[in-house]
Structure 1
Amino acid sequence: MDDPRVLGPDLAATPFTADDIREANPDGRRLLVRTRLGGLVTFHCDSFATGDADGCALTQVVTDASGTPVDEPRTARVTWRELQEHAAFPAAATTIARERIASPLGELECLRYEVRREAGIATFWFAPEHPGMPVRYETADGALVEVVAVD
C-alpha cells in the first residue's frame, strides 16, 4: 500500500502514521486521561520513555485528578505501528468527518471516526495537533474518555 495511514485491505485510513505518533510523543510526554461511566469518574496517566525509531516504553498508571499515581504503574514496550493500529477500523463500518470540539485541551479541530460495532456505535475524536490516542471517545456502553492534560 502506498498510503502509510492505510494498514490493510478493507481498513479505513488511520488519522496518523506511526511516524506522526513517534514525533509527537517524545520521552517524558504524559497524557492525563479521564473516564466517566455512569456516576464513576476515574483517571489514568500514559507516559512515554526510551523511544527509538521502532517504539517506546509506555507506562500506564491509575491516578487521582491531579495525575498523582494511586496504584502501581504498568510498563510495556510497544511499537509506534501498534499504537497506530489502535485506530485501524473497518472501512465499511467507519464514517470519518471533520468536527470542531470544545475539550479540556481547548477548542480543537478533529477528525471524528464513528465506528459501527455489534455493541453499537463508538465515536473517536482525533486532533491533528495531538497525534496519538483520540482526545475524546465515547463507547456504546456510555463511557466518555477524554485527554484532560498533556505535558
Structure 2
Amino acid sequence: MTTLDPHVIGPGLLATPFTAAEIREATGSGLVIHLLLEGPDGPLGEHVNRFRGTGSDGATLDRWAVADPHTVVSNQVTWTELQGHAAFDAETTSVTTVTLQTPLGELNCQRYDAAHGVFWFATEYPGMPVQHESDGLRTTVLRIDKL
C-alpha cells in the first residue's frame, strides 16, 4: 500500500512547506498577521490579515490596509486552499534552506524560487510566507498575534 505525502497536493508539484493540518493547527482560534508592502521606491503601506471563525475546514479571512481600516475584504478560506497557495511547479521551481533576518527575528526558511516570484516560508510559522518578492514588490510579515 502506498502512503500519500500530505505535503504533495498534485502531480508535477513540489511538496508544500506545510500541510493543511499544520496550517490549521498553527492558526488555532485565530491569528492577526501584520504585513509591510514595499515597492522599488520604498514602503507602500502596512496591511493586516486576520483569521477568525476558525473551524476544522477553514476560517474567515479579513484583509485591510492600515491606512484604510474601514475597508475590510472578507472571504471564507479552507486550509487546503491555503496549502495550495504554496504548491509550485516542480519543473520550474527550486527549493533551498536558508536563514533569513526578518522583523520576526532570524528564521530558518524554505526558499522557493518560482517563475512568478521568490517565497520564504519559516519552519516555525506554518502558513503564509514570511517574505515574498514578485514584480518589484516585496511583502514582509512584521508581526503575528494570536487571537
TM-score in same-fold range (> 0.5): yes
Aligned AA for 1:42?
A: G
Identity %: 40
Write the deviation string for residues 96-151 of structure 1: whole angstroms up to 9, x where unpaired.
0100010010000000000024xxxx110000100000000111x21111000111
Q: Assess if the C-alpha contact under 8 Å between 2:62 and 2:75 holds in 1.
A: yes
> Corresponding residue for 1:6?
8
CA–CA distance in structure 1, aligned partners of residues 30 and 85 of structure 2: 21
State yes or no: 1:54 paired with 2:57.
yes
Query: Secondary structure at 1:34's aligned position in 2?
Result: strand
> Corresponding residue for 1:16?
18
CA–CA distance in structure 2, aligned partners of residues 136 and 48 of structure 1: 19
Structure 2 counterpart of 1:145, from 133, 139, 144:
139
CA–CA distance in structure 1, aligned partners of residues 122 and 24 of structure 2: 15
Query: Secondary structure at 1:52's aligned position in 2?
Result: coil
Structure 2: segments with no counterpart, 5+ residues: none
State yes or no: 1:124 paired with 2:119.
yes
CA–CA distance in structure 2, aligned partners of residues 44 and 57 of structure 1: 16
> Corresponding residue for 2:112?
113
Structure 1: segments with no counterpart, 5+ residues: none
RMSD: 1.3
Query: Secondary structure at 1:147's aligned position in 2?
Result: strand
Write the deviation string for residues 78-102 of structure 1: whole angstroms up to 9, x where unpaired.
1000000000111001100100010
Q: Assess if the C-alpha contact under 8 Å between 2:37 and 2:139 holds in 1.
A: yes
1:43 CA drift (Å) = 1.3
Which consecutive aligned stretches of 4+ in structure 1 deviate over 6 angstroms post-superposition? none
Aligned AA for 1:70?
A: P
The normalised TM-score by structure 1 is 0.89
CA–CA distance in structure 2, aligned partners of residues 28 and 132 of structure 1: 12
CA–CA distance in structure 2, aligned partners of residues 32 and 91 of structure 1: 30
